Amino acid sequence: MNKSLEAIFPAPPEGLSLAELDVASIPEHIAVIMDGNGRWAKKRMMNRLKGHKAGIEAVRETIRCASDLGVRYLTIYSFSTENWKRPEDEVDGLMDLFARTMLAEVDGLDEEGVRVMTIGDMSVLPADTRAAFEAAWEQTRDNDGMTLVVAVNYGSRSEIVRAAKLLAAEAADAASAFDIQDIDEDALARRLYTADIPDPDVIIRTSGEMRLSNFLLWQAAYAELVCTDTLWPDFDRYELLRCILAFQGRSRRFGGV
């Protein structure tokens, strides 16, 4: 952590004490289900896309704060495999928003040493959106700061099915030394999109919902779940601090006593 807590959190609200934060126990990997953009917009008599646009500032704030705190991996659930069911104009607007935001933000992320990668099936995304994410990866892939993992067209069930198919194909390949008896948890984990990423320590969900919504089902086996009533566009560094404090207040036993 290169900055002091006072620099990261210059104006903590009443009742939120920086002294409670254990800087030696910052989670290595935080994953976020960013929920509530639509409800935020509805409360303000706006269309849903306005809510998604408002949520971009919360993304910026969370990336900046997590990086300053020394979080090594931040995964954000941007677009699920189920989100294609939304109205066409909302989906088209989101894809355009992803592309424009990534192109606008990548230089700043690069300067801060953040590495940008994606998980999910990128093949069906619009060409401009896919190109923006690919360009961000190429520009930042050698950075050694925090890794920002953008889950786009991601669904955990399809990810696990994909991994199972890869295992089955390798086991059936006569030229391969891989045998069906070699299939175990590690073998499957190595074929997930997240093969080179540690499992999340904590999964945060905003807007008061308490479900995983097909997000990192395998990887979440021992993640702590922290839910907040805050709608995503209103999520800021102090709400992130509250979530980390909640995480630090848990006892992680990983199935032990």
State the catalytic residues: 35, 83
Label the pairing between strands 115-119 and 29-33.
unpaired
Contact yes or no for 74/148 (Cβ under 8 A): yes
Closest CA to 241 of 7, 36, 65: 65
String of b and e for 181-196 (b: at least 16 CB within 10 Å)?
A: eeeeeeebeebbbbee
Crossing angle, helix 88-111 and helix 127-140, to 10 degrees?
20
Contact yes or no for 31/202 (Cβ under 8 A): yes
